[in-house]
Amino acid sequence: MKKPLISLFVIAASLAWAQTDSTPVSKVPAAAPADPHAASAVPVLQIDAGKVTGKVSPMLYGLMTEEINYSYEGGLYGELIRNRSFKANPTWPIYWEAVGNPAVGLDQNQPLNPALDVSLKVDAGAASEKAPAGIANGGYWGIPVKPDATYRASFYAKSDNFHGPLTVAIVSTNGKMIFASAKVPKISPAWRKYTVRLRTKNVPASKDNVLEITTTTPGTIWFQQVSLFPPTFDNQPNGFRPDIMELLAAMHPQFLRFPGGNYLEGNTISERFDWKKTIGPVEYRPGHKSPWGYWSTDGMGLLEFLEWCQDLHMQPLLAVYAGYSLGGQHVSPGPDLAPYVQDALEEIEYVTGSTSTKWGAQRARDGHPAPFTLHYVEVGNEDYNRSSEYDGRFAQFYDAIKAKYPDLQIIATAPVTSRTPDLTDEHYYRSQEDMEANAFQYDKRPRTGPKVFVGEWATRVGSPTPNMAAALGDAAWMTGMERNSDLVVMASYAPLFVNVSRLRGQDRSMQWTTDLIGYDALASYGSPSYYAQVMFSTMHGDEILATDSHNIPTREWQPRPFRGRTPPPEQLRQIFFDATRDRQSGIIYLKVVNEAGAAQNVHVQIAGASTIRPDDEAVVLAGSSPEDTNSIEQPRKIDPRTEEVHGLSADFTREFPPCSITVLKLRTK
Ligand code: AHR
């Protein structure tokens, strides 16, 4: 049995306090006032179970997502073929290789349709039994092969002079292993879709593989929309990668903010997330360039985002394009903006409308007759400092949306004065120390304005994924959001995903460092910050309890110079905490972050609870150093562990390990 980590500690100090903690960070003080707890100098955390300061928002913990770091292409979206539509480059079929000696090239004269208006011409005139010819695709840094798995390969093809067969196979890059193969006996002169199933045997998992389509008989063949899907989450067609979905499901996210971020806006207006071009059969989606520098097929379109919400029981938080693109192109408020406002109204109708509406009927034709529930619409993204016209553009969207959908909550992405948004979206990307220094920023925020949605936030320490130092900064920050979640009603970490296959150089898979979940073609893992999120989002009550603290140890921190001025050093707290209670079960969830590199003995005092059960459990995430982290090779090096605890009471001492985040459950019934 594990050694109990709790021992009783009797403190004579009065428990007559009930203030929200208000002394987070101090400038280096001249002389501290006399502290009644100073005798012991042991940190004291006080919880007043008799004083509820607010309700924990049931929507507090959600997800934010966009196409960045190969989040969908080469990420969540199951498609394994890279550049399946040959549109990623206008002059050359990048990511495709010739097998044998055929002449290959893009052909604008043989389009599949107006959306996929180019095809790959493969002239295999010299193909023979001894010299097969064709094409190969290595996917997104590899094609994953797993044992006993069924893959679905499909493509459109046509040929005037070739009668088949074509061999479709998953083979190792060095050509030594054929993992699965199937034949398409005949190709017709007109475009037609061909589908085969590829079943692997009991082989070891690997990713250094390609998909090949080859012939041993001569001819010229045109291809378009060459696709390979592995088994997907819930076996859904055009579906998602199961391992990543499982990581997300464990977070119990309440909402999904999509489709961005910068990805919503695009570098130019024509490269925005133009939702109407992302719906319907995938072979009718033209795709577009993401502002993060690579091609999106839009296989992950509006309906797929909504289905993702449905699969994980998340509410959609739909961001609509608000007339501003990143390169500076923007649409001024007034008549020029009207078509974009109309487009947003139609998008909302696509999401929520009955099948008797034009766009609800379109959604039904796309395969989803039931409307989705929508409560939140966000107008644009980070529109502060971006053209001076956001206020006017916001007002135009706000008025039109509220007129048709009065119950929708409308989120502004910058301060506005013309209308009162239901929520404002704030973004914070900070160092560990900055996060900790600001962990109390909402305690003092007046409750008179709109509610707050922290739509993007992260402690940016660690690459490609955050390390333990980042998780500590995140957790300190989350105690602040949770303690103030009467005001901060929604929050989502960003970015969510990174493909870690190629971190640097040309054709890199990462555009932004410090991302919550990492993966390559074969495996995925959660960072320490991911586990901190899981702990916070799955273990909290619905009531915020008043807290106070004393004798909190500090360390000196020198903030970075700002606008040429070096600010004075600050004393940073090393312990952060908050307490919430589940009203029904009476469980108090005490979250304690010890960011120090040494263990801390801490007194915990609970007033206003008639009983505290002596035995319970704690969930602890700890690293051996701030640099400690998880990776593809060591996916669970830092992992929450559950411990039994004994000796709990209204007044106890617990040792919190170095660099740790703890959720302690205290049963008051
Ligand atoms: O999360 C990465 C980017 O940061 C988002 O696309 C943008 O909204 C923010 O600037």
pLDDT at residue 33 in the model = 46
Query: CATH no. for residue 162?
Result: 2.60.120.260
> Which residue among 174, 206, 231 closes a domain?
231
Tokens of 339: 């078509």
pTM above 0.85, yes or no: yes
Asked whether the predicted pLDDT for residue 183 surpasses 60, the reply is yes
Q: Tell me: do 100 and 226 sit in the same domain.
A: yes
Task: For helices 338-352 and 302-311, give the axis angle rounded to 10 degrees.
Answer: 40
Asked whether the predicted pLDDT for residue 85 surpasses 50, the reply is yes
pLDDT digits (tens, 9 = 90+) for 434-467: 999 999 999 999 999 999 999 999 999 999 999 9
Q: Tell me: do 551 and 657 sit in the same domain.
A: yes
Tokens of 197: 């199933």
595, part of any domain: yes
Does 414 sit in the ligand 1 pocket, CB within 6 Å?
no
Region 114-120: what's the mean pLDDT? Answer: 98
Region 12-25: what's the mean pLDDT? Answer: 35
Asked whether the predicted pLDDT for residue 531 surpasses 80, the reply is yes
What φ, ψ does residue 363 adopt, rounded to 5°?
-60, -40
> Which residue among 231, 255, 278 closes a domain?
231
651, part of any domain: yes
Q: How confident is the model at residue 36 (pLDDT cuts 50, 70, 90)?
A: low
pLDDT at residue 384 in the model = 84
Tokens of 666: 């205290």
Region 110-125: what's the mean pLDDT? Answer: 98
pLDDT at residue 22 in the model = 40
Does 260 sit in the ligand 1 pocket, CB within 6 Å?
yes
Asked whether the predicted pLDDT for residue 382 surpasses 80, the reply is yes
Q: Tell me: do 555 and 638 sit in the same domain.
A: yes
Region 627-653: what's the mean pLDDT? Answer: 97
Asked whether the predicted pLDDT for residue 28 surpasses 50, the reply is no
Q: Tell me: do 643 and 585 sit in the same domain.
A: yes
Does 425 sit in the ligand 1 pocket, CB within 6 Å?
no
Determine the 3-state secondary structure of 476 from DSSP: helix
Q: Tell me: do 654 and 595 sit in the same domain.
A: yes
Asked whether the predicted pLDDT for residue 99 surpasses 60, the reply is yes
Counts for the chain of helices (H) and strands (E), in that order: 9, 36
Does 436 sit in the ligand 1 pocket, CB within 6 Å?
no
Q: Tell me: do 36 and 147 sit in the same domain.
A: no
User: 163 CA to middle of ligand 1, Å?
Assistant: 50
Of ligand 1's listed atoms, the one at least distance from the Cα of 456 is 1
Domain that holds residue 127: 96-231
Q: Tell me: do 138 and 35 sit in the same domain.
A: no
611, part of any domain: yes
11, part of any domain: no
**288-289/96-99 β-pairing:** unpaired
pLDDT at residue 419 in the model = 97
Of ligand 1's listed atoms, the one at least distance from the Cα of 427 is 9
Does 381 sit in the ligand 1 pocket, CB within 6 Å?
yes
Q: Tell me: do 32 and 111 sit in the same domain.
A: no
Q: Tell me: do 550 and 660 sit in the same domain.
A: yes
pLDDT digits (tens, 9 = 90+) for 255-275: 999 999 999 999 999 999 999
pLDDT at residue 425 in the model = 98
Q: Tell me: do 604 and 655 sit in the same domain.
A: yes
Region 562-567: what's the mean pLDDT? Answer: 92
Does 495 sit in the ligand 1 pocket, CB within 6 Å?
yes
Region 159-169: what's the mean pLDDT? Answer: 93
pLDDT at residue 4 in the model = 32
Tokens of 111: 């389009």
Q: Tell me: do 566 and 645 sit in the same domain.
A: yes
Q: How confident is the model at residue 333 (pLDDT cuts 50, 70, 90)?
A: very high
Asked whether the predicted pLDDT for residue 385 surpasses 80, the reply is no
Long-range contact pairs involving 304-308 (C-beta distance under 8 Å, separation at least 24): 304/77, 304/238, 305/256, 305/258, 305/259, 306/351, 306/368, 306/372, 307/236, 307/368, 308/76, 308/240, 308/256
Query: CATH no. for residue 606?
Result: 2.60.40.1180
Region 551-562: what's the mean pLDDT? Answer: 95
Region 148-154: what's the mean pLDDT? Answer: 98
pLDDT digits (tens, 9 = 90+) for 305-316: 999 999 999 999
Does 383 sit in the ligand 1 pocket, CB within 6 Å?
no
Region 427-436: what's the mean pLDDT? Answer: 98
The count of structural domains within the chain is 2
Q: How confident is the model at residue 132 (pLDDT cuts 50, 70, 90)?
A: very high
Q: How confident is the model at residue 215 (pLDDT cuts 50, 70, 90)?
A: very high
CB 169, CB 198: distance < 8 Å: yes
